[in-house]
Amino acid sequence: MTNPYAPPQAAVLDIADPAAGAVLADRGTRLGASILDGLIVGVMVYLPLIVATLLTGASQDVGAERPDLTGLAIGSVVALAGFVVWLAITIKFMIANGQSIGKKACGIKVVRRDGSRASVSRLIWLRNVVNGVLGLIPLYGFIDALFIFGEARRCLHDHIADTIVVKA
């Protein structure tokens, strides 16, 4: 005879975490990929602007009525071209495997927290644009980076985009 006042009983099966087989990227590897991405952008975009500015400033006549901005214009065009090339390569890697150039070089990639592929729009908008806008808040970048020391090794922008960084 069953007790009508007994709590309900049900057989509940544990569902395996789809990302359980994925190996999280090391903190140092993530830092290295971030530094490498920054250096690549610096060389492709900012270096031409800096060189053009220095060369334009050094070649100016002291008594000239109007400064010659030809060098600066050329530097700007080269910087824009470098940005377009960098953007094309980065988007190509993001579409192929959820990686930036630095992540590709370091052998890591970004996936959704459940292990599924992260969309390019999620990577661009949530991980970069939203994070960039939030970066205008004082100390946000510092706090974002400190989140990496949690057990899940996820920065604040990873939580925003619902992503994890794993070994590729």
Each of the 168 residues of the chain gets a pLDDT tens digit; together they read: 788 888 888 876 655 555 567 899 999 999 999 999 999 999 999 998 888 878 776 555 666 667 667 777 888 888 999 999 999 999 999 999 999 999 999 999 999 999 999 999 999 999 999 999 999 999 999 999 999 999 889 999 999 999 999 998
Q: How far apart are alpha carbons 160 and 127 in whole angstroms?
A: 7
Q: Is 0.75 topped by the overall pTM? A: yes
Q: Are 101 and 40 contacting, i.e. CB atoms less than 8 angstroms apart?
A: yes
